[in-house]
Chains A and B, each alone.
Chain A
Amino acid sequence: AQSVSQHNHHVILSEAASLELGCNYSYGGTVNLFWYVQYPGQHLQLLLKYFSGDPLVKGIKGFEAEFIKSKFSFNLRKPSVQWSDTAEYFCAVNSYTDKLIFGTGTRLQVFP
């Protein structure tokens, strides 16, 4: 069965620090990859997605992610975080069907 692993459960950073959140998936076929963000009290919003093409994907709010097929990874990065990036981040994947398989989420806290 497909699964998604997010290794960092809780990350605490100061503003301007760089961020990298890990995501690994377990399916060997063609996959579509997503990062969603959930700000406190708000709904899940799409940060970025990868379907095909350039494995380096740029999303909203300065986030990017790199798909490395050989490592089954889709890590999320941001060079300089802001206090407003405090949120929960979810990696998700789908493949031969459209159901999304989510990771457990990473809670990011950014302190001024």
Chain B
Amino acid sequence: EPEVTQTPSHQVTQMGQEVILRCVPISNHLYFYWYRQILGQKVEFLVSFYNNEISEKSEIFDDQFSVERPDGSNFTLKIRSTKLEDSAMYFCASRLGLAGEMDTQYFGPGTRLTVL
């Protein structure tokens, strides 16, 4: 069964450094998402992406964050200058989105980001 994959599984970085989290969505899916979960808190929506542009973003997704689909398979989340409070598990998700249907989002295993 096709799966969403994410790399790396764990990323440790120094405050102020740039990080890029990578995701490979399910191959024929059209809609892509990033969510995050700070330890002990809810899973929170960050951004949705469709047709090579951001569809929606949350208040968390400020100018320090960006997303890109650099080729036909990868979907990346970049944090330009990491802060301590960016430490969290970051989940990528994708959905097929046939004819604009609201169908299921499939999640990847997550990348645990630790900012020191």
Contact = CB atoms under 8 A, between A and B. Distances in A.
User: What's the interface size class on A, roughly?
Assistant: 20 to 34
B43 A94 contact: no
B51 interface: no
Interface of B: 4, 31, 33, 35, 41-45, 48, 55-56, 58, 91, 95, 102, 104-110
Question: Which secondary structure dominates where chain B touches chain A?
Answer: strand
Interface stretch (A11-19, A39-47, A63-71, A77-85): A39-47
A90 B41 CA distance: 12
Contact of B42 (A45, A94, A99, A105): A105
B45 A43 contact: no
B111 to A, nearest CB: 11
Interface of A: 32, 34, 36, 42-46, 49, 51, 90, 92, 94, 97-105
